[in-house]
A and B are shown apart, each in its own frame.
Chain A
Amino acid sequence: MPNGLIAAVAIAFLCTARITAADTIYVSNEKDNTVTVVDGKTLEPVKTIPVGQRPRGILLSKDAKSLYICASDSDHIEVLDLVSDKISRTLPSGADPEYSALDPSGKLLYVANEDDNLVTVVDIDRGEVVTEIPVGVEPEGMGISPDGKYLVNTSETTNMAHVIDTATRRVIANILVDSRPRRAVWTADAAQFWVSAEIGGSVSVVDAAKREIVKRITFAVPGVPTEAIQPVGIAITRDRKLAFVGLGPANRVAVVDAQSYEVLKYLLVGQRVWSLAFNPDQSRVYTTNGVSNDISVIDVASLKVIKSVPVGQAPWGVVSRP
């Protein structure tokens, strides 16, 4: 390799490293009632913030200044101010909020109420519930289309992905998927959404226009019993080249070619890998590992796990803030 090229690669690598270093990682710890803050540069935990009871789904506000936390056993959403690292206010959510999605405008939160078979729509500024949409048993996954027109909610015991028209707030389609669907994640081009089925052991790729399953992706890890393959978290690159799927107690993240749907690789991560999140430039994937109480850091370019970082007990959700 010519020296110049090596230098260019090295500079490119350094640039990537510098850009990635800018993020801050937030992890909700379901058992500890805390959020762990991890420095994206050093990959060391820097702070533990006490929050409400049983924090699960977390997401960033549109301005990235706040973190919305589903405090399941407190029956509300908490807004964590990321400047002061204090809970600044709470939002009503209906009972047992597990997971939520943010409208692209940043004004509305859609919350899955696991105990009540409802999706609750919350106006963030007014701090009010706008309406509730009845869905199947144990709603969980929430994926909003990039244009905000459609919300896909999964219900774990009904085994469906419900497509909700966000204008009329009615369920307009129901897609039967494999057992215990967990997450619904849209591709950035809005052409598809992917639904993981934890007990079914599969990911269904749904054509968003036809609302039909176009591919059912299954997984097989040598030496791991098929029962242990329990897909939950999904992260798809913006260019839809790669998808990452957390396989639960198989302790692996599957790397999938998001065009051919072929599984390219299985990466060994922590125990019972759960949620996944990209860093802002998508050079890394962070995974929460619910049993080993850590997060794994995957380098997307090399498809290697580069570090695990200890966090609190039963880490559940993870987001990266620029």
Chain B
Amino acid sequence: MSSWRHATLLMVILIVAAALAPAASAGEETVRIGWLSQAVKRSLPLSYLDQPPQDEGIQGARLGIADNDTTGHFTGQSFILAEAIVPEDGDVAAGLRELTAKGIRLVVTDLAAPELLSAAGMPEAVGITFFDTGSASDRLRGEDCRANILHLLPSHAMLADGLVQYLVAKRWQNLLLVVGHGDGDREFAGDIHHAALKFQARIVQEKPWTFIPGARRTDTGHFAIQAEVARFTQGISYDVLVVADEGDEFGDDLSYRTFDPRPVAGTQALVPTAWARPHEQWGATQLQERFLHRAKRWMTDRDYAAWMAVRAIGEAATRTKSADPAAILAFMRGDRFELAAYKGARLSFRSWDGQLRQPVLLADARSLVSVSPQPGFLHQFSELDTLGIDKPETKCRMG
């Protein structure tokens, strides 16, 4: 088997070389894409099982380049990723200048909202379009939106809507909302309130999580947590506990420990997300396997967002038969753009805030539970627009 494999591999290389020759001589166009990210120190997750990968995001972008290049073999286009990875205490502005000096105008970013906003506001950023793959912030798509930023991850509002649609479809309408201390936690909690109003769920109570259990890996620590969560949820009548804990500080400690037997959903347990390990519908298995093969680990939502950013550029370059960033962007923001991204829907960018419209997966660690929008949540233009901030309610004023 293995000698046969080698023989065919050689044959394949020869065939590829032969197949590529005419395309290359026909004058190959190169689409240049920048990658700008800053290393951040992530707090260790509560579960020892999932250590944050060091190469999150960029592995998705690299896979996107490889996928684009395979298509490019047939269209005479090639794709290059210029990577600017800024250290934790480094200068994001310098990273951007490094890319713009190379003439790059399409920049995929994995940056926190403040860093992204300051980069997008630099004089060098004129004529640059940023593909945000690192933030779910509603503000970044609302009050703080910029005309030159497109957003690949679903916003907090989309995630909250995707979850609450499902809970309402299940008729689990009474929610106990437990909120951590992070800004993202508060934003997500606000979105859960908004979604409850929109889809007719009820927040029976909102409680901040203040218990600090100390060192997590001490023996017998679980007795304290078990007792605390039971006390915390006692005497409240609700169907589902919805948790907002982006920092992964306590959310995993809630399931099975509530006073009454109630499921947990939100940032832990049943999670609304752009991408999840158990997802294998609509050909997702192929993307999961390509990614695993390349990165030797599972694809995260940020990897997926970066892959989508690079694929969106590739798709527009293929359709326009152009490597010109202006032509690519004009097509990408237009009506005819559609991105297939293994979620059974055509994805495209919302004109009012640059958000990629997309289904939201609902998954726990081991299984895909559902995909929102849920059947029956209707919209006059696209059911995907039942998720997140719709045109009439946007606070984004681009100008």
Contact = CB atoms under 8 A, between A and B. Distances in A.
A88 interface: no
A226 B382 CA distance: 8
A268 to B, nearest CB: 16
A38 to B, nearest CB: 26
Interface stretch (B8-16, B103-111, B265-273): B8-16
A227 B75 contact: no
Contact of A114 (B16, B73, B286): B286
B338 A199 contact: yes
Contacts of A114: 286
B339 A179 contact: yes
A23 B16 CA distance: 43
Contacts of A176: 75, 318-319
A157 B67 contact: yes
A160 B8 contact: no
B98 interface: no
Given A176-B319, A179-B340, A249-B344, A131 B74 contact: no
A158 B12 contact: no
Contacts of A226: 382
B87 interface: no
Interface in A149-169: 155-160, 162, 169
B51 to A, nearest CB: 27
A200 interface: yes
Interface in A104-157: 114-115, 117-118, 129, 131-134, 136-138, 155-157
Contacts of B286: 114-115, 138, 156-157
Q: Name, among B290, B339, B340, B345, the residue most crowded by chain A CB atoms within 10 Å (CB to CB).
A: B340
Interface string A195-214: 00011110000000000000
Contacts of A180: 283, 340
B384 interface: yes
Contacts of A28: none
B70 interface: yes
Contact of A160 (B74, B289, B345): B74
A170 interface: yes
A171 B338 CA distance: 26
A178 B336 CA distance: 10
Contacts of B11: 131-132
A178 B16 CA distance: 25
A200 B19 CA distance: 28
A273 B377 CA distance: 23
A74 interface: no
B297 interface: no
A199 B346 CA distance: 6
Contacts of B290: 115
A133 B73 CA distance: 13
A260 to B, nearest CB: 25
Contact of B346 (A129, A156, A227): A227
A171 B340 contact: no
Contacts of A162: 74
Interface string B324-339: 0000000000000011
Contacts of B101: none
B4 interface: yes
Contact of A199 (B4, B19, B345): B345
B49 interface: no
A227 B11 CA distance: 41
B70 A133 contact: no
Interface string B1-27: 000100010011001101100000000
Contacts of B19: 134, 170-171
B206 interface: no
A117 B318 CA distance: 18
Contact of A117 (B70, B283, B344): B70
Nearest to A158: B71
A261 B162 CA distance: 38
Nearest to B15: A134
Interface string B67-101: 10011011100000000000000000000000000
Q: Name, among B67, B74, B318, B338, the residue most crowded by chain A CB atoms within 10 Å (CB to CB).
A: B74
Contact of A174 (B18, B74, B339): B74
Contacts of B346: 179, 199-201, 227
A225 interface: yes
Contacts of A199: 338, 340, 344-346
A227 B345 contact: yes
A27 B141 CA distance: 48
Contacts of A137: 67, 70-71
A308 interface: no
Given A131-B15, A226-B382, 18 more contacts: A115-B286, A115-B290, A131-B8, A131-B11, A132-B8, A138-B286, A155-B71, A159-B71, A159-B315, A170-B19, A171-B74, A179-B315, A180-B283, A199-B340, A199-B346, A200-B338, A227-B382, A230-B344
The 4 closest A-B pairs by CB, nearest first: A199-B340, A179-B340, A158-B71, A174-B74
22 contacts: A92-B4, A129-B4, A129-B8, A131-B8, A131-B15, A134-B15, A136-B70, A136-B74, A137-B70, A137-B71, A155-B71, A156-B286, A158-B67, A158-B70, A159-B71, A171-B74, A174-B74, A176-B318, A176-B319, A178-B338, A201-B346, A227-B344
